Amino acid sequence: MTTKLFGEKVKRVEDARLLLGRGRYVDDLMGGALEAAVLRSPHAHARIVDIDVEAVLDLEGVHAVYTYDDLTGAMADPLPLLIPHPALTHGRTQYALAKDEVNHVGEAIAFVVADDRYLAEDAVSRIRVDYEFLPPVVGLPAAREASSLVHDDVPGNVAARLEQEDGDAEAAIAAAPHRLALDLDVERSASTPLEGRGVVARWDPDSHRLQVWTSTQTSTGVRAAVAAKLGLDLVQVDVITPDVGGGFGVKIVHPWPEELLVPMAAQALGMPVKFTEDRREHFVSAAHERAQQQHIEVGFDDDGRLLGLSVQFWHDNGAYTPYGLIVPIITSTQLLGPYKPQSYKVVFESLYTNTVIVTPYRGAGRPQGVFAMERTMDAIAAHLGKDRADVRATNFIQPDEFPYEHGLVFQDGRPLTYDSGDYPASLAKLKQLVGWDDFEKVRAAARAEGRQVGIGLACYVEGTGVGPYEGAHVHIETSGRVKVAIGLTSQGQGHQTAFAQIVADELGVPLDDVEVVAGDTRRMPYAVGTFASRAAVMSGSAVALAARRARAKALRIAAEALEVDAADLEIADGVVQVRGAPSSQISLGTVAVLSNPLRYAFDEASQAATQFTVGDPDKPPVAVGEEPGLEGKDFYSPERSTFANGMHAVVVETDPETAEVRILRYCVVHDCGNLINPMIVEGQIHGGVAQGVGGALYERMEYDESGQLLNASFMDFLMPYITEVPAEIEIDHLETPSPLNPLGIKGAGEAGVIPSAAVFASAIEDAERLDPSTLAITAMPISPSQLFELRRAHRKDPS
């Protein structure tokens, strides 16, 4: 019998190929293609007076030079605003090549195509641009002050202002027996995947078709954008996503200018064209995230119960808003986590600065929200002298309250309604896992040795599986092997394994007989993409539904061939057999042969499906309402998002002299519903925690007042070494199935990173605890030098 695979720790089927160096990335494709380079602005804010390309035009090996003046039709329009929102009253997007003005260092001005990258870069260096300098707006304080404007027609640099409220938070706070106010900062960071952006395009003048290979998180999105901008029909454009060396959100933005310019040049020149981004380009021309300033006011009772919570924050957009308000909206709604304040008000302003655009990066607004909420919970506990875990438990939504409606609108425009969870059980598991109740003994033992240790915890809820839909096509070959096509792309998540596990279980076939193909619009032209921890929920559900369609068809055909009722059949190890009488059987491969009546026999297997050997002569060869072939195709579209949750705890040691922070233990309890593959989920958590450590302790994008990015290389951008990431992450799972999809699953892709800043702040503050007061961690990331300065300031003013 076929072994059940759903829920098992199956080794990833894609790993052998990748570990042996057999992966195929964009830069590995189309050897001999022309190569492109981009002239980028060295200034944060300037008007373009003139561009002189004369020195490039006659350069041997240079095939084309483009500036904005060379763009025509839709290519001359701004790039699309991908997710409009009614509150985004002053949305602005860039042009494929700058028109009249540049608004951040790294903005594309000219595009050169040459025989190779060296020639293209040489040509770029010969282009002369005359600039009229404009005052740059750098950082949120400058944006809020608005003495200078990023865009002349955007008053106060405010792209959007959005307010949501459930109850009367201000009145509740005013009447509360206890009140606190906090001001917090979360610095700007970047996702820095191993592989930068890349795109290759080839135009076929005979078929009038364009093929594009790009390292994206949304093949179909790029396809639609390329077709629209180049004036082509969708059927003329194929977008294929090969192996992708990490995405983390930066590659969901589409189209990047190069994803339009490369296909445009390939079509114009009639030759393949390639562009691959170098590391500095990635830092100054891709996307950043995180940057927010937050002000929180909270009122609570003697038990720490939240009576009123009011949050105001300011979000740094960077120079443009291609992804709308998704990041700050997620912050504003996911901030609540597993808690149920009696009243809640949130107001945010999304502001322009002359810096790189801010778009979703793994966590996508949730780390900022969790930082605000969890710092607030720790402050309440400190104020009341209560256990931090107890204060959180006092405010939990209870298991019998699901589905729980918050009275807010989520990022998908639908009510913020949690589908399932058991937060008290998760906290109990975490406390036991980390030894929360016995930690004072650990602290006392460390102090006896002259060491400072602290423990922190943080809780979060993560909206996952956001719509609108995903689809899947499951095709059973005459060999019995199964080919699965999905529309989203993979950047290392293990989709090929997890989705194969689902199909193998649904069809009763060995895992090795299932092959999953992703990110090819020729195979699945309708899809959305990989982001927001949605792949397992959306594509996984679609794959299950499509496999069930294929299974139902297989059973109908097999029942007719075996002359039994379909309800009496089962499938095991790729064979359809009568339940209780396995000798009466037919292989799935043979069923696939029978599903496609043929006029011509081209091999031994197909002889069984010709018109004289198959089917009832009194019936049509293909039944009414069916199609030839043994396959199933389906789409999954949920009524709303699913909500995963988790709780992290960390034990740290802070050096009394150097302020170095060492991680002693890291524990996670995670609930993403039914687990498809626990090993893959744990891998996602490990990767997320590693990125979270970077965001909490190391990584920040440093701009000077002129808008120059000072650390735009791995020499200067501080990231954790493998020795600075926890060697062991202790993980436990809770499974509360989602009622919203056929598999009961929730997303897990961003779980590891979401609470990291908050949990480290909690632990470091605890380690630094000096009775009767302690210093307060109000900004992230926190470096040893910053912790040192906090200590110094606290000693001067311990209040």
Please tell me the predicted confidence (pLDDT) of residue 3: 72
Residue-averaged pLDDT of the chain: 95
The candidate with the shortest Cα–Cα distance to 452, out of 205, 748, 769, 160, is 769
Which of 664, 780, 759 is CA-nearest to residue 392?
Answer: 759
Tens of pLDDT, residues 87-116: 999 999 999 999 999 999 999 999 999 999
Q: Is the pLDDT of residue 571 over 80?
A: yes
Dist CA 740 CA 636 (whole Å)? 11
d(CA 428, CA 430): 5
Task: For residue 772, say if its preceding peptide bond is cis, omega within 30 degrees of 0.
Answer: yes
Residue with tokens 């807010």: 408
Q: What is the pLDDT of residue 96?
A: 99
d(CA 654, CA 767): 7
Top mean pLDDT of 331-345, 576-590, 608-622 is at 331-345
Please write the tens of the pLDDT for every residue from 659-708: 999 999 999 999 999 999 999 999 999 999 999 999 999 999 999 999 99
For the cut 90, the answer to whether the pLDDT of residue 578 exceeds it is yes
Predicted local distance difference test score (pLDDT) of residue 534: 95
Residue 311 pLDDT > 90? yes
Largest CA distance in the chain: 96
Question: Can you give the pLDDT at residue 608?
Answer: 64
- For residue 470, give both structure tokens: 């995903």
Pair 543, 474: CB distance under 8 Å: yes
The token pair that represents 177 in the structure block: 């027996």
Percentage, residues of the chain above pLDDT 90:
92
Question: What is the secondary structure of 463-488 as a DSSP string?
Answer: EE--SS-EEEEEEE-TTS-EEEEESS
At residue 598, the pLDDT reads 73
At 206-220, the pLDDT tens digits run: 999 999 999 999 999
Task: Sort residue 36 into left (φ over 0), alpha (ψ -120 to 50) or beta.
Answer: beta
User: What is the model's pLDDT at position 696?
Assistant: 96
User: CA nearest 453: which of 663, 285, 194, 233?
Assistant: 663
Give the pLDDT score at 343: 98
Radius of gyration from C-alpha coordinates of the chain: 28
Token pair of 235 as six digits: 């059927």
- pLDDT of 772 above 70: no
The reported pLDDT for the residue numbered 613 is 60
Q: From the CB of residue 753, how many other CB atoms can be counted at a distance below 10 Å?
A: 28
Q: How far apart are the C-alpha atoms of 340 and 393, rounded to whole Å?
A: 11
Task: Give the per-residue pLDDT at 260.
Answer: 99
Q: How confident is the model at residue 163 (pLDDT cuts 50, 70, 90)?
A: very high
Give tens-digit pLDDT for 326-362: 999 999 999 999 999 999 999 999 999 999 999 999 9
The pairing of strands 62-66 and 470-476 is unpaired
For residue 45, give the 3-state DSSP assignment.
coil
Task: For residues 279-289, give the mean pLDDT.
Answer: 97
Is the CA virtual torsion 384, 388, 390, 395 positive or negative? positive
* Domains parsed from the chain with CATH numbers: 18-134+197-244+251-285 (3.90.1170.50), 288-466+639-791 (3.30.365.10), 467-636 (3.30.365.10)
Looking at 451-547, which runs of residues are DSSP E strands?
A: 452-464, 470-476, 482-486, 514-518
- pLDDT, position 582: 83
Name the DSSP class of 288.
Answer: B
Structure pTM? 0.95
Q: How far apart are CA 288 and CA 377, in angstroms?
A: 28
Residue 727 sits at φ, ψ, to 5 deg, of -65, -30
State yes or no: pLDDT of 282 exceeds 60: yes
* DSSP code, position 299: E
Is the pLDDT score of 2 beyond 60?
no
3-state secondary structure of 142: helix
What DSSP state is assigned to residue 82? S
pLDDT at 364: 95
CA end-to-end span of the chain: 69
Query: Is 272 in contact with 166 (CB distance < 8 Å)?
Result: no
